[in-house]
Structure 1
Amino acid sequence: MIKTWKIIDIINWGQDYLKNKEIESPRLQIELLICNFLSLSRIELYMNHDKPLSKDELAKLKEAINRLVKHEPIQYILGETVFYDYTIKVNNAVLIPRPETEILVEESIKEIANVDKPIDILDIGTGSGCIAISISKAYPDMSIYGVDISNDAIAMAKENTKLNDTSVLYKRLDILTEIPNKRFSAIISNPPYINLTDYKELDENVKEYEPSFALTDRSDGLIFYKRFAEIFPQIIQEGGFFAIEIGFGQSEEICDLFSSNFSLRIIKDFAKIDRVIIGKLKN
């Protein structure tokens, strides 16, 4: 007799299987998969433990569990994540948004409020579009632009912009060799800032699944900041500012790059690590 699998059966089996494979938070991961694949809320999940699974549902869930065992990030398996309270679709063409980047968004939103209107905002290395979209939700009447070197990333950003009912204009642009053809009131960026040595030490699931060009500049981690220091004075309007995310131990060197043209302020993250630099163009 063929066993009929219920939701509670796949939860218990999957939890034990993932635990034996030393996957973190196995129960939570299983429940997230089931909620996503069966379009259930967490409350609905608990109310439907005895619901039988179809053969197709069971096969898809077991396939997803096996992907978890291979250490593929659950965000890629689900095809989405939550950033700044907004649903953001992700695939392996874009970096999975991190909680630290929400600090960059929060500080940028605060700073934009102090800039004279009209305001044009540029997001460099837009990736999934999570930064541009979050700012557009806060300021729906402002002109927001996102640029990225990857056409696949831009396609994902456009999809997320439509999903979140926002208005952001996207363009492929290599910021290391090209310069935007206009000035902006605010420039925001979370560039690749992990140096090559540290990148080699990252967890295998990060290196195997997330796009390396979004994580490392394959050098000292400062290539993009050096470029920004060179071009920002040319493309930031009078009275404007930039906001950039930085890595551990980089704040002093990066501040030195910008100090001649910008008044600088550093914001720490939840771990009290320097994480964001705000720079206001000097008169």
Structure 2
Amino acid sequence: MNERETSYPFRTTGEALAWASSFLQRDADPVTDPVRARAEAETLLLHVTGLTRTQLVVSLREGLKPSAAEQLAALVHRRAAGEPLQYLTGQAGFYGRLFRVRPGCLIPRPETEVLAAAAVSWIRAHLPAAQVLDFGCGSGALAITIALECPDAVVTAVDLSEDAAAIAAENAAALQASVAIHVGDGFVWLQHHPIQVLVSNPPYIPTGDLPGLAVEVRGHEPRLALDGGPDGLAYYRRFAALGDGAFLDGPAAWFMEVGFDQAVQVKRLFTEDYAHLWQGWRFSVLDDLRGVPRVVTGERSKSHD
């Protein structure tokens, strides 16, 4: 064998796909199933070759350029070591659009689309020109989605992380979304800028649970976007304590993602612990596509008394 064959045990695109699938299935941390391994191998192969899926199908017997082979091998090894697939390709899908992602921002998840859909539906039905805040915006997926789906809304995004805010700004520019992006503490921002709609996918993992997360999460995604304090409810408790004075008079709503077993506790903060600060609000819980209670919402249809 020559050096190239020793380093990359494949010559054609099809052989490369088979090798990458087998490697990820066998050596990934954690070990993955054949279907997922194949899907991830294909994603990486498309990324390094620039091919579409249709082009890939018809080019399986064609040779793979040495540069693409080198990139593929490197990415497969990094993926097997636990680096998130989305960081390797630099993008993640959300609500039918592709968002740029890299270390420094949380990767958008499919379950968060439930939150986006609920917020978009409410804004369209009740307040098309709403003043909206994406609290802890990360990649900007929520803010940008709402700005594009509700073009009359005035959307602002805030994040403590300069890295996350920079990525959100890049996504807003790339997707031509009108979103004002600020670096800072969202709680401080709310004290000076009342709004009408709030959306947030805050950190909600209990601190003690962080070491048990998958390596691709605990070892690569920003802790700031994950750590929700001792019980995971630190953000929700602080928000509940603000009361509805954070919102402008008239119709208002908020939508927040929660952990898989937190919906009841989060709702209780607003209906019991801080109920006196949320008079006139109705609260509900929405399930994600797997039936997991995933989003807690609050809605006020009338003006302050």
Q: With structure 2 as the length reference, what TM-score do the two structures score? A: 0.87
1:115 is displaced (CA, Å) by 2.6
Q: Greater CA deviation, 210-219 or 162-171? A: 210-219
Residue identity matched to 1:188: V
Q: Greater CA deviation, 212-221 or 62-71? A: 212-221
1:123 is displaced (CA, Å) by 0.4
1:20 is displaced (CA, Å) by 2.4
The equivalent residue for 1:256 is 268
1:176 is displaced (CA, Å) by 4.7
1:241 is displaced (CA, Å) by 0.9
1:221 is displaced (CA, Å) by 0.9
The equivalent residue for 2:182 is 171
Is the Cα contact below 8 Å between 1:115 and 1:185 reproduced in 2? Answer: no
Is the Cα contact below 8 Å between 1:81 and 1:90 reproduced in 2? Answer: yes
Residue identity matched to 2:242: I
Residue identity matched to 1:57: A
Structure 2 residue 83 is matched with structure 1 residue 64: no
Cα distance 1:116–1:133, how it changes in 2: closer, same or farther (>3 A)? closer
- Considering only aligned residues, what root-mean-square deviation do their CA atoms show, in Å? 1.8
Is the Cα contact below 8 Å between 1:125 and 1:190 reproduced in 2? Answer: yes
The correspondence for 2:218, drawn from 207, 210, 215, is 207
Structure 2 residue 19 is matched with structure 1 residue 13: yes
Distance between the aligned counterparts of 1:70 and 1:30, measured in 2?
Answer: 14
5+ residue gaps, structure 1, are: none
Percent identity, please.
Answer: 30
The equivalent residue for 1:236 is 247
| Matches for 1:31-46 after TM superposition, within 5 Å | 31-46=42-57
SS in 2 for 1:121: strand
SS in 2 for 1:99: coil
Distance between the aligned counterparts of 1:248 and 1:185, measured in 2?
Answer: 27
1:114 is displaced (CA, Å) by 3.1
Distance between the aligned counterparts of 1:265 and 1:122, measured in 2?
Answer: 20
1:178 is displaced (CA, Å) by 5.0
Distance between the aligned counterparts of 1:159 and 1:172, measured in 2?
Answer: 14
Distance between the aligned counterparts of 1:249 and 1:56, measured in 2?
Answer: 46
1:162 is displaced (CA, Å) by 1.4
Distance between the aligned counterparts of 1:211 and 1:265, measured in 2?
Answer: 29
Structure 2 residue 235 is matched with structure 1 residue 224: yes
SS in 2 for 1:277: strand
Distance between the aligned counterparts of 1:245 and 1:8, measured in 2?
Answer: 41
Cα distance 1:180–1:41, how it changes in 2: closer, same or farther (>3 A)? farther
Distance between the aligned counterparts of 1:76 and 1:163, measured in 2?
Answer: 18
The equivalent residue for 2:160 is 149
Q: With structure 1 as the length reference, what TM-score do the two structures score? A: 0.94
Count how many residue pairs are aligned between Structure 1 and Structure 2: 283
Is the Cα contact below 8 Å between 2:204 and 2:229 reproduced in 1? Answer: no
| Matches for 1:63-212 after TM superposition, within 5 Å | 63-116=74-127, 118-176=129-187, 179-212=190-223
Cα distance 1:117–1:204, how it changes in 2: closer, same or farther (>3 A)? closer
Is the Cα contact below 8 Å between 2:106 and 2:139 reproduced in 1? Answer: yes
1:240 is displaced (CA, Å) by 0.7
Distance between the aligned counterparts of 1:168 and 1:211, measured in 2?
Answer: 23
Distance between the aligned counterparts of 2:289 and 2:210, measured in 1?
Answer: 22
1:117 is displaced (CA, Å) by 5.2
Cα distance 1:256–1:218, how it changes in 2: closer, same or farther (>3 A)? closer
Distance between the aligned counterparts of 2:255 and 2:159, measured in 1?
Answer: 17
1:217 is displaced (CA, Å) by 2.1
The equivalent residue for 2:258 is 246
1:230-263 per-residue CA deviation (whole Å, 9 max, x = no partner) reads: 2251221221111111112222222222222121
The equivalent residue for 1:270 is 289
Distance between the aligned counterparts of 2:52 and 2:145, measured in 1?
Answer: 24
1:94 is displaced (CA, Å) by 0.9
Residue identity matched to 2:11: W
1:47-104 per-residue CA deviation (whole Å, 9 max, x = no partner) reads: 1112322221111111101111101111111110111111011111111111110000
Is the Cα contact below 8 Å between 1:23 and 1:69 reproduced in 2? Answer: no
Residue identity matched to 1:229: A
SS in 1 for 2:251: strand
